[in-house]
Amino acid sequence: MCATNSFLRSLGVEIYGSGHRRWPDDVKARAVAETLEPGATVNAVAGQYGIRPNQLSAWRRLAKQGQLVLPPAELGEPAFAPLVICDPTETPEPSDAKPQQVIRIVKGTTRIELSPDTSADRIAAIVRALEAPTC
C-alpha cells in the first residue's frame, strides 16, 4: 500500500490520514484514458491506482458525459482518415488571378481550410478531433 500511496502522491493525489483521497481531474482523466488502451481492463487499471473498479467506471461515465476531459491520445504511428473526392457542384469562372491553393477538410457541415504549408501532424490532429465521438 505504501508504494501505491507514494505513486499516487507523485501524481498529485491528496491522501488524508483517514484514508480518504482527493483525486485531481487530470489524474482521473489519465486513469480513464488508460482503460481505453488496447487490451486494458477497468479491473487492471483500477488495481494500479488502488481504487475499486466501480469508482473508475463512474469516472468513465463522467468522461462520456463531457464532465471529464481526457488527455490527447499518443499515437505511435501515423493515423489515416478516409479521403473523399467529388466533383464540384459549381464550376468557377476562369480568371486571370492566380488561384489560391488551400487544404480543405470537410465533415458534415464543418469546413476547415488550411494553408498549403500546414504540417501533416497538424492536419492529422484536426482530423482526429473531427473524428472524436461527441458527448
10-residue mean pLDDT profile of the chain (135 residues): values are 76 85 91 91 93 94 89 68 69 60 85 87 85 70
The answer to whether the CB of 13 falls within 8 A of the CB of 23 is yes
User: What is the number of residues in the chain?
Assistant: 135
Domain around 30:
3-65
Residue 80 lies in a domain: no
pLDDT at position 11 is 83
State how many domains the chain has.
2
In a domain, 36, yes or no: yes
Task: State how far Cα 113 lies from the chain centre.
Answer: 22
What the block records as the C-alpha cell of 42 is 477497468
| pLDDT given for residue 78 in this prediction | 63
Residue 127 has a pLDDT of 85
- Is 126 within a domain? yes
Residue 102 to residue 83: CA distance in whole angstroms: 15
